[in-house]
Structures are given as structure tokens and as C-alpha cells.
Amino acid sequence: MPNKIEFEIFKTTGGTRSDFTAEEIASVPEAKRVVFTALLEAGRESDAAEQAMTAATNQVYARVKAFQAAQATALKYRPVVTDYDAIRSHLKSIGR
């Protein structure tokens, strides 16, 4: 069977393997080697994109957490407005 690949290309988690031996690569038929290398390159690019996305997501989480902490601090120092204060402000704004 010279046209069949005799080893596993994918991990059990679904990604492409990256630990191919020289014998495994040499056993890939010449007609399928271009497709094989393209598949490996696409797998590497996919892994890199996933890592970049995870890093970006972690940055977003950190910045949202910092924003929420700053917002909570700002709210602590905000004066408390009672219903009476709101009514007085409204009456003042309409000229009464």
C-alpha cells in the first residue's frame, strides 16, 4: 500500500501532532507530502491563533477586573442622594 499513511496524524484531542519522527515523514507518499505539510502548517497556525486568542481574552478579563475595582472605589466616594435631594434638585431645575 504505497499510497496510504500508516501512522496517526491527529492527537486524541483533535489537534495535529507535532512530534513526527523522520521515519514517519519519510513514509508519507510523495504524492501526499504537499498535503501533509500543508496540514501540519495549518495545525501550527491554528495552535498559534488559539494561544493568541487566549492571551487576548486574559488581557480583557484583567482590564475589566481593574475597571470594576476602580468603579467600586469611585462609587464609595460618591455622595449619597436621597429622594428628598432628588426632589429638591428637580424643583430647583424647574424654577420653584
In a domain, 41, yes or no: yes
pLDDT digits (tens, 9 = 90+) for 35-80: 888 988 888 898 899 999 999 999 999 999 999 999 999 999 988 8
User: Number of structural domains, the chain?
Assistant: 1
In a domain, 32, yes or no: yes
The three-class DSSP label of residue 79 is coil
Name the residue range of residue 65's domain: 22-93
Positive or negative, the CA dihedral 67, 68, 73, 79 is positive
The model's pTM is 0.59
Cell, residue 69: 475595582
Place 2 in a pLDDT band, splitting at 50, 70 and 90: low
Contact assessment for residue 8 and residue 17, using Cβ atoms and an 8 Å cutoff: yes
Give every CB contact of residue 66 below 8 A, 6+ residues apart in sequence: none
Residue type for 95, please? G
